[in-house]
Amino acid sequence: MDTLIFLIVLTVAVILYSVFMYFRQKKILKTLTEEEFKAGYRKAQLIDVREPNEFANGHILGARNIPLTQLKARLKEVRPDKPVYLYCQSGSRSGRAAQLLHKKGYKDLSHLEGGFKKWGGKIKAK
């Protein structure tokens, strides 16, 4: 019985944490449709937070590759005074990248709804 209660409490805690993080992310990060993203990304810092092999297989024209796993160490490459447009494969890593950037004082953060897999614009592959 104690194990069941523990599992219920743990499940509720995980759900509450997930809901909290979802709303927190919505507050600090603008989710843009492809059209909105296309309209603004040339005036922003366009950052692909996927791993280098994913980037090499195809990326949005003009994007810089700063993988989420390296972002903390490479923050100097991202200007805090300019808008930052992020994307990953599906949208989850770019959300985590935005949370990290927000903690470091970045304010104007946006990401591509659905990520690169939903992108229909120009791409470059190596």
Annotated catalytic residues are 88
Contact 99, 26 (CB under 8 A): no
**How many Å apart are CA 106 and CA 126, to the nearest integer?**
31
Q: Which distant-in-sequence residues (6+ apart) come within 8 Å of 26 by Cβ?
A: none
